[in-house]
Amino acid sequence: MLNNKTVLITGGTGSFGKQFIKTILNRFPDVKKIIIYSRDELKQFEIKQNYPAKDFPQLRFFIGDVRDRQRMIQACEGVDVIIHAAAIKQVDTAEYNPTECIRTNVDGAENVIAAALACGVKDVVALSTDKACAPINLYGATKLASDKLFAAANNIKGSKDIRFSVVRYGNVMGSRGSVIPFFIERKKEGLLPITHEEMTRFNISLQDGVNMVMYAIENHLGGEIFVPKIPSYRITDIAKAIAPTCELKVVGIRPGEKLHEEMITDTDSLNTIDLGHYYAILPSVSFTYTEAEYLKHHKAEKVPFGFKYNSGTNTEWETVESLRDLIVTHVDSTFEV
């Protein structure tokens, strides 16, 4: 799928980017080029230490910002596939710096689309978030706007052979700023702050997120939002899994935070297809295919009327024991209770 192709990853020095690079090199040894595009020279330097140029000549490192359209166009010259992972992601950071969040997450999305159209890219997959579904914070609102831009880009491609799609998933285990490494660090103090006893979240491993993007590259028709079927966890179960003897202190839900996350609303379900391991929310306006054609192509079926996908009403749940196993596997191999 990616052999003899050139792949560009925006925000390529983040948690996803590093796992994606590792996966491509393992699965597609004949990949032509992997371009890591980001604005953090220190993180690029750190990745270079793990992938020396003499052993990995296919890696390229571009300093650049998705806000800079001209630089994006330069970076996309000769690129076949773009994975757009760059974003301002911290909810509280976005609330305090709204203009900066919009410039990166919305204007940046427009620039990626423009560069892809200008440079003859074939496949574009943008990473989204559960917070883009019925958003109540600015981060979620900007990612919803980004999702809409990528879906609508398929309607302005003209005769160009290019497909734009989105993948949307929940909290990634062990990613920077997430709750698991935070709790592991805080357990030594004997007290864990939790926002609310009833809070739930979707859970996905970094590798499963990468696998989902690979699926999208290979199977997308353009315009759809792919959503994985994944389990939920209770915040209290995470606390018990990491530090069962610690006292829990309820500190309250932070501004812009939901009690339960959503990935598909009941209104979204009117355009949602069940693909087996994933769902696909089809665009409300598409000139590429009809719903019937999409169903036939994937040998899929529509979800039931009124279906919705919410971390609090999910049918699949992680337990305290399964969470401990996942932490050892995906976050910290030395972890012990």
Q: For 62-101, how does the pLDDT look when each residue is reduced to its tens digit (9 = 90+)?
A: 999 999 999 999 999 999 999 999 999 988 899 999 999 9
pLDDT beyond 90 at 55: yes
Write down the pTM of the prediction: 0.94
For residues 26 and 1, the answer to whether their CB atoms sit within 8 Å is: no
For residues 224 and 279, the answer to whether their CB atoms sit within 8 Å is: no
The set of residues, in sequence order, having a beta carbon less than 8 Å from that of 297 and lying 6+ positions away, is 221, 289
Q: Distance (Å, rounded) from C-alpha 234 to C-alpha 240? A: 10
Q: For 246-266, how does the pLDDT look when each residue is reduced to its tens digit (9 = 90+)?
A: 999 999 988 788 999 999 999
143 assigned to active site: no
Which domains are delineated in the chain? 6-170+204-230+262-308 (3.40.50.720)
The pLDDT of residue 171 is 86
| pLDDT band, residue 337 (cuts 50/70/90) | confident
Active-site residue, selected from the candidate residues 43, 131, 143, 240: 131
